[in-house]
Amino acid sequence: MTADRQDHAVPTGLRERIMTASRQARPAGLAVPQITPDSPMEAFSNAADAFYQLLITLSARDWHLPVLRDLDVQGLVGHLVGVERDVQRCIAGDEAVGSANHVESTQPVALAQAGRAPAATTDEWREAIDRTLAMASEADLDANVAMHGVALRLRDLLVARTFELWTHENDIRAVAGLAPSVPGASTLRPMTELATALLPFGAAFTALHEPIRVHLVLTGPGGGTWDVAVGEPSPEPSELGIVTDVVGFCRLFANRISPADLDVFVTGDSTQATSVLTAAAALALD
């Protein structure tokens, strides 16, 4: 910022008057241009559509590229078929899926894809997605569910699955040499809402006990501003401001980049900022 004109002392009270008038014109935290966020069903459906569009453009060679753990692309899609089946069990009230392991539970379906035609794997995955959408549309989205060690509302599970589909879509894009994709702003918004809501749990998981009030600003379409309390409850927490790009933060939350890959503007203690960003990636979905 450049002060390129003559300064005059600002009258007392003008700052408060302007801050009040501004917040009346637009509440703090509300991003512009305003968007209508996707519902959890829409977000999940949009992520599935983007994933499907990628699958139908892959070459035969792409399907056999190693992509994640011991899986090639076809195996990863098989893993996602297995995840959908567990989501359906979860919606149907099967409590056993609550404690099932995300990889072990889906690995048989992933390995079973070897030798199949890619189109058959694609069709099986798409049918599984459609079945999940059909079951979710009949279910109470506010119901508490548990799956793969995570307990949350069904609506949040669908957004978590949105994260997973977007993340794996980009895993495949990376090995196939394709440009990364970014969800639309209306889809990103529920993703950022979930990521920021889970930040205190990520902090707890990484043993970040120091009480901090984080003023988190995620810039770009789909972003916004959140005030999140992490660490132990305290009447006088430290104040920390973190500003970073919304897509970068989502990639961090998905554990596809580290804090070292992020451009961040910090006000407050940078060591605390590192701890908070590390916490953001601690509940990653694979």
Partner 1 sequence: MRIAAWVIGAGAALPGGSERAIFRCVEPTDALLAARLAAGDDHALAEAFDHLAPTVYGAALRVLGEGSAAQDVVQDVFVELWSHPDRFDPAAGTLGTYLNLLARHRAVDLVRSELRRLARQARHHRLTLDGHDPSPGDAVAAADTADAVRAAVSLLPDDQRRAVELAYFQGLSYREVALATGIPEGTAKSRLRLALAKLETVLDRQLLESS
Q: Which of 169, 216, 188, 181 is nearest to 62 (CA)?
A: 169
3-state class of 71 per DSSP?
strand
Eight-state DSSP code of residue 221 = T
Residue 189 near residue 40, CB atoms below 8 Å: no
Does position 175 bind partner 1 by CB under 8 A?
Answer: no
Closer of 43 and 208 to partner 1 (Cβ) = 208
Buried b (16+ CB within 10 A) or exposed e, 155-165: bbbbbbbbbbb
Q: Which stretch binds partner 1 (CB under 8 A): 36-44, 59-67, 125-133, 204-212?
A: 204-212
Q: 231: left (phi > 0), else alpha (psi -120 to 50), else beta? A: left
Give min distance, CB of 89 to partner 1, in A: 16
The footprint of partner 1 on this chain (CB under 8 A) covers a number of residues equal to 81
Give min distance, CB of 164 to partner 1, in A: 9
Does position 76 bind partner 1 by CB under 8 A?
Answer: no
Candidate residues 37, 40, 75, 224; the one interacting with partner 1 per rule CB under 8 A = 224
What is the distance between the alpha carbons of residues 48 and 54, in angstroms, rounded to a whole number?
A: 10
Candidate residues 211, 237, 241, 268; the one interacting with partner 1 per rule CB under 8 A = 241
Candidate residues 101, 119, 140, 232; the one interacting with partner 1 per rule CB under 8 A = 101
Candidate residues 23, 95, 116, 130; the one interacting with partner 1 per rule CB under 8 A = 23
Candidate residues 206, 229, 237, 268; the one interacting with partner 1 per rule CB under 8 A = 206
Restricting to residues 246-285, name those near partner 1 by CB under 8 A. 255, 258-267, 270-271, 273-275, 277-279, 281-285
Restricting to residues 114-153, name those near partner 1 by CB under 8 A. 144, 146, 148-152
Give min distance, CB of 120 to partner 1, in A: 26
Candidate residues 112, 215, 238, 269; the one interacting with partner 1 per rule CB under 8 A = 215
What is the distance between the alpha carbons of residues 87 and 38, in angstroms, rounded to a whole number?
A: 20
Candidate residues 77, 217, 240, 247; the one interacting with partner 1 per rule CB under 8 A = 217
3-state class of 214 per DSSP?
strand
Does position 208 bind partner 1 by CB under 8 A?
Answer: yes
Q: Residue 227 CB: number of other CB atoms within 10 A?
A: 12
Can you tell me which residue has the tokens 């503007």? 265
Q: Residue 213 CB: number of other CB atoms within 10 A?
A: 17
Eight-state DSSP code of residue 106 = T
